[in-house]
Amino acid sequence: MADDKNRLRKTYSFFRQQPVYASGGGGGGGGGTSDQFWYSTTVGSIYTTGSVAIRGGSTGVDAPGDIGDGVFFYVSGSIDAKNINYTNVSVFGGDVIVSGSVRSLTALSGSLTKLADGTSYLIAGSNITIASASNGGVTISAAGTTPGGSDTQVQFNDGGSSLGGDVGLTYNKNTYTLTGVNVVLLGDLTVSGTMTTVNTTNLEIKDSVIGLGFASGTVAQTAGDRGWIGSNVTAGIDTHVMNKWDNTNSEFVFARTTSSATGSFAISSYSNLQANNIQGRIISASLGFSGSLTKLINGTSYLVAGNNVIISTGSSGQVTISSTASGGGGGDPDATYLVLSATGSLSSERVLTPGTGLSLNDAGAGGNATLSINDTIVATVSGTTFTGVTRHNAGLSGSLTKLSDGTSYLIAGSGVNISSASNGAVTLSTTGAAVVAGNNTEIQFNSNGSFDSSANLNFNSSTNRLSLTGSFGMQGDIIPDSDTTHNLGSSEKRWANVYTGDLHLRNDRGDWTIVEERDYLCVVNNITRKKYKMMLQSIDSE
């Protein structure tokens, strides 16, 4: 500890700009090797590159690192001091500017209501009062407002400047009951509880759908019966009326029950149902039907007796159908019948026989008799019109050249001949050759829609030679079909002048390029990449 206490020795005179050294040795006055700790380059100012601990009368802290890792500057002092008369208090006489955040482990004292420009950072709004104490405490209070109306009446803005109450809207805090007269809800209403009571003379519901037993959306609250119960315990009747969906039997029920609205849907007895017209896929009665069943909704009988048939209905609703005809089956023996095979029991029977391309399959008694197309036989049809797409996997035969009105669907134009064979094949041919222009070997070209030619452009098919008299304009390259095979000109017929850029020469022995420079010709060996200058001698003009 003694070495630590001697670590910093003050040998600096501030205004004389003398350095302060940090001792690197043991105790004693200036002994050992020292490193300069405080520096000054400006009169009245010092600085250091190390960390500093100003501990005053405190003990146990010799360096900022004793406070915690990462502490660079430490000043000791008293905690919770209220004024500068206390000892060990750090006092900054002027403004303190912190570029980072400020953190206080206990509290802040002094007035906190001023901003840097001197204005309050807390501003009181309407009916608000803000007061700041000398210790920095801020008190925010609201201006007093007197409730309107009487006890339990819900308060509302009455005229924009005061509160009001009314007997039409009250709240009892003891029973948690909100009571209102003529309440209109503009949003959804969710009621949670055991019993919801609506006590009105009449209940009008404008919704087109009423959902019973839903938890949310299409999810059921619980599986079970759904319906309603109407109170009818009067005049000696001890049961209520109800209409419900019986979830167990999957059926709607009109019945009586002793259950209340808070109980179950126990059925005491079934009730009668009277309707003008009942329609359904199947109507069944486990106890049977009673009354006349022979009337339709227009008052006529739904069973009408035909020839040799008598229909009678009893008072119980029973219907009797009898025949007055003689013969095997009780029907008309002289009627015309369509049968699958002749039996001889009917005098006017007809046997159903499939025609060409059709087949008949009889599944027997209780089964179906099915007519279908016989794919093994060609069906013959005449005058048939197909409105959809026809498909012919094996092809088509016969003449295909006729439309429905008898005219050909293929019509020959100018210079064209059309003929149709008996098997349906259609032959298209031309009635003459194209009219060519010019003389033999002259190449044809389109001239305003007609063939034309020129004596300056010929092709001899015997020699495979294209002849052109005049200029030949080329927008692309002229490339022979093989390398070092064809000539450009001949020893007898040569080009007068050859205008070219660089000249590239290559055969089976060498590969050279002649490049035109400004003052000389450069010859490049493309194999060795060496360059040579042609030695040219100037010829003086005579």
Q: How confident is the model at residue 30 (pLDDT cuts 50, 70, 90)?
A: very low
- Residue of 394, 391, 359, 357 lying closest to 377 (CA atoms): 357
Q: What is the predicted pLDDT for the residue at 288?
A: 67
Burial label, 418 (beta-carbon count in 10 A; 0-12, 13-18, 19+): middle
The per-residue pLDDT of the chain, averaged, comes to: 77
Q: Are the beta carbons of 241 and 271 closer than 8 angstroms?
A: yes
Which among 252, 270, 288 is the end of a domain? Answer: 270
504 and 463 together in one domain? no
508 in any annotated domain:
yes
> In terms of residue numbers, what domain contains 164?
150-185
Task: Give the distance from CA 10 to its chain's centroid.
Answer: 76
159 in any annotated domain:
yes
Q: What is the predicted pLDDT for the residue at 515?
A: 92
Give the lowest-confidence range in 27-41, 87-101, 453-467.
Answer: 27-41
CA distance 288 to 73: 105
Higher pLDDT, 419 or 232: 419
CA distance 199 to 18: 99
For residues 277-311, b (16+ Cβ closer than 10 Å) or e, as one string? eeeeeeeeeeeeeeeeeeeeeeeeeeeeeeebbee
29 in any annotated domain:
yes
Question: The tokens of 129 are what?
Answer: 């009062």
Q: How confident is the model at residue 25 (pLDDT cuts 50, 70, 90)?
A: very low
pLDDT over 70 at 234, yes or no: no
Tell me how crowded residue 64 is: count the other CB atoms within 10 A of its CB: 20
10 and 69 together in one domain? yes
Q: Are the beta carbons of 512 and 532 closer than 8 angstroms?
A: no
Q: How confident is the model at residue 524 (pLDDT cuts 50, 70, 90)?
A: very high
Residue 437: DSSP 8-state: -
pLDDT over 90 at 172, yes or no: yes
Q: What is the predicted pLDDT for the residue at 200?
A: 85
Q: Are the beta carbons of 430 and 416 closer than 8 angstroms?
A: yes
- Reported as half-sphere exposure (CB side, CA atoms, 13 A), residue 433 has a value of 3
CA distance 68 to 53: 12
Contacts of 483 (CB under 8 A, 6+ apart): none
330 in any annotated domain:
no
Higher pLDDT, 205 or 236: 205
Q: What is the predicted pLDDT for the residue at 261?
A: 63
Question: The tokens of 63 are what?
Answer: 């360096």
pLDDT over 70 at 367, yes or no: yes
Residue 67: DSSP 8-state: T
Give the lowest-confidence range in 189-203, 285-299, 397-411, 511-525.
Answer: 285-299
Residue 3: DSSP 8-state: H
Q: What is the predicted pLDDT for the residue at 107?
A: 63
Q: Which tens digits make up the pLDDT trace of 458-489?
A: 899 999 888 888 888 888 888 888 888 888 88
CA distance 227 to 240: 13
Q: How confident is the model at residue 111 (pLDDT cuts 50, 70, 90)?
A: low
Q: Are the beta carbons of 301 and 294 closer than 8 angstroms?
A: yes
Question: The tokens of 420 are what?
Answer: 């149709």
pLDDT over 60 at 177, yes or no: yes
CA distance 30 to 131: 59
538 in any annotated domain:
yes
Q: What is the predicted pLDDT for the residue at 35?
A: 64
Task: Give the distance from CA 178 to its chain's centroid.
Answer: 45
Contacts of 193 (CB under 8 A, 6+ apart): none
Higher pLDDT, 493 or 60: 493
Q: Which tens digits make up the pLDDT trace of 320-352?
A: 887 765 555 555 666 777 888 887 766 778 888
Q: How confident is the model at residue 28 (pLDDT cuts 50, 70, 90)?
A: very low
Give the lowest-confidence range in 106-120, 292-306, 385-399.
Answer: 106-120
Which among 47, 75, 103 is the end of a domain? Answer: 75
Q: What is the predicted pLDDT for the residue at 34?
A: 54
What is the average per-residue pLDDT within 362-383? 79
Contacts of 46 (CB under 8 A, 6+ apart): 12, 14, 20, 38, 39, 40
Q: Residue with structure tokens 């055969």?
A: 507
109 in any annotated domain:
no
pLDDT over 90 at 49, yes or no: no
Q: Are the beta carbons of 392 and 378 closer than 8 angstroms?
A: no
Which among 75, 99, 123 is the end of a domain? Answer: 75
Contacts of 184 (CB under 8 A, 6+ apart): none
343 in any annotated domain:
no
Question: What percent of the chain lies above the pLDDT cut of 70?
Answer: 77
Q: How confident is the model at residue 45 (pLDDT cuts 50, 70, 90)?
A: confident
pLDDT over 80 at 360, yes or no: yes
Give the lowest-confidence range in 202-206, 385-389, 478-482.
Answer: 385-389
8 and 67 together in one domain? yes
Most confident among 73-77, 173-177, 391-395 (mean pLDDT): 173-177
Q: What is the predicted pLDDT for the residue at 15?
A: 35
332 in any annotated domain:
no
Beta bridge partners of 178: 171
Q: How confident is the model at residue 262 (pLDDT cuts 50, 70, 90)?
A: low
Q: How confident is the model at residue 154 (pLDDT cuts 50, 70, 90)?
A: very high
pLDDT over 70 at 455, yes or no: yes
Q: Are strands 450-452 and 358-362 parallel, antiparallel or unpaired?
A: unpaired
- Residue of 148, 142, 141 lying closest to 162 (CA atoms): 148
CA distance 178 to 172: 7
pLDDT over 50 at 8, yes or no: no
11 and 64 together in one domain? yes
Query: Structurally, how many domains does the chain consist of?
Result: 5
Task: Give the distance from CA 441 to its chain's centroid.
Answer: 70
What is the average per-residue pLDDT within 379-386? 70
What is the average per-residue pLDDT within 182-194? 83
Q: Are the beta carbons of 463 and 471 closer than 8 angstroms?
A: no
pLDDT over 80 at 238, yes or no: no
Beta bridge partners of 156: 164
